[in-house]
Amino acid sequence: MPRAEFVNPKFKGARFDDHHLPVDVLGEFKAYNDLVLALSKHLYLAKHDDRERVPRGFADQLQLKITSIERGSVAVKIERVYIGAGQDYPEFEEARDLIDQVISNDQLPARFPERFLSHFEVFGKSLRDDEAIEFSVPGQPHSKVTTYTKQKRLKLISSNRQTIESCVLLTGRITTVDLVRKRFTILLEDQTELQGSIQEGLSEALRDAHRQSENRDVLLMGKASTFENKSIAKFDQVQHLVIYNEDKLEFAFPELAKKASEIKALKVGWYDGDGTAFDGAFVNSTVSALESLLKNKKIPFPYLYPTPDGAIQAEWSMGSWDVSLAFSNEYAYLHAASLSSPETIENRFSNWQKESTLFDIGDFLVKKFIDIVA
């Protein structure tokens, strides 16, 4: 099969002076491979706005192989093997070059999302104080060598980056659930892994999603710590959750159908003598509108409450905003309050039963309150 030089790392330091490669540095190759793959997926998706996922078989096209280990101290040659007649993707080489820039520059390149810095927790972990990996990339002058040291790695992972709280909407698969530490990991489409905290009421659903993660896509909305460039440092709190089983809705938190039934069953005077009864068709229309928001705009289900004057109030916790959308026969009244300032936002949507109005409502929610969709 055809192959081409991809990168040539040289391991320098006392451990490598005998020109042998210690077994405990082998993990560095896997970590490097993972970083190249994750970054290349991100670069591909950044170029193709219309796609939510990379093409099928994308990852298979990245076949990195160690083809020689030579003296000097230990000079390794890594080549990329081209398989089959599948489409080639330049993003693999672009990712390689970007990693080279990240290591060699003092400032992160604009194209490198800060969330990928988490890969450096693993990549370079085996390096000792007096050791380095010198990377040379084919096509660049021989004098151009990028030196990766333990100090550089620590600088990358411990850079003092301020985070802010944001509302994020993520699609991915649950890869780990740790019920003891109440943490889970979600793998996003671009191969970024994010950790999140499990709160009460969600552990069972997340565990089920994890057990059958091959068939389960998860939509999460909640609070995350994010960097200035809108990359996600960590996921802090799940506020809304939807789990699909092969594209069919399997689980939603909060759930909708049971609460809708409860609202239908309310009788006049349900609120301590006050409160009107609800027409079943009106409740169904409201539920359909919320299903439409999920289907068309990926807005997860809200919490649902009746109001004594006969409206149905949907409420979302969207990061540091609390948002309500009160459906009445005449209009849907949106009210949002910032939890960190006195700011409020209001809007009224007439004819909310129309699909076009629901699109407008969905757009408004996404633009005003969701900071990052990934």
The answer to whether 208 contacts another protein (rule: CB under 8 A) is: no
Nearest residue to 93 via CA among 52, 141, 10, 37: 37
One-letter amino acid for residue 353 of the chain: Q
For another protein, the closer CB: 329 or 340: 340
5 touches another protein by CB under 8 A = no
* Among residues 49, 106, 129, 200, the one that binds another protein under rule CB under 8 A: 200
Tell me whether residue 134 or residue 262 sits nearer to another protein (CB atom): 262
CB of 241 to another protein, least distance (A): 11
Q: Which two tokens stand for residue 322?
A: 């609390």
Q: Does 315 bind another protein (CB under 8 A)?
A: yes
Cβ 297 to another protein, closest distance in Å? 21
Report, in this order, helix, strand and coil percent for the chain, each rounded to 5. 30, 35, 35
CA Rg value for the chain:
25
Fill in the amino acid letter for 103: I
* Chain-centre distance for alpha carbon 107: 24
Closer of 130 and 343 to another protein (Cβ): 343
Query: From the CB of 254, what's the least distance to another protein, in Å?
Result: 4
| Cross-strand pairs, 81 | 3
Q: How many residues bind another protein (CB under 8 A)?
A: 32
Cβ nearer to another protein, comparing 70 with 204: 204
Q: How far is the CB of 259 from another protein (least distance, A)?
A: 5
- Strand-pair partners of 216: 245
* Secondary structure letter of residue 271 according to DSSP: B
Calpha distance 355→110 (Å, rounded) = 39
Q: Positive or negative CA dihedral for 279, 281, 283, 285?
A: negative
Our finding on whether 324 is near another protein (CB under 8 A) is: yes
User: Are β-strands 372-373 and 164-178 bridged in parallel, bridged antiparallel, or unpaired?
Assistant: parallel
**What are the Cα distances from residue 159, in Å, to 15, 101, 110, 223?**
28, 16, 16, 22
Scan residues 335-354 and list those touching another protein (CB under 8 A): 335-337, 339, 342, 344, 346
**Residue 13 vs 308, nearer CB to another protein:** 308
Between 281 and 310, how does the x/- string for binding to another protein read (CB under 8 A)? Answer: ----------------------xxxxxxx-
Residues lying near another protein in the complex (CB under 8 A): 200-201, 253-255, 259, 262-263, 266, 270-272, 274, 303-309, 313, 315, 317, 322, 324, 335-337, 339, 342, 344, 346
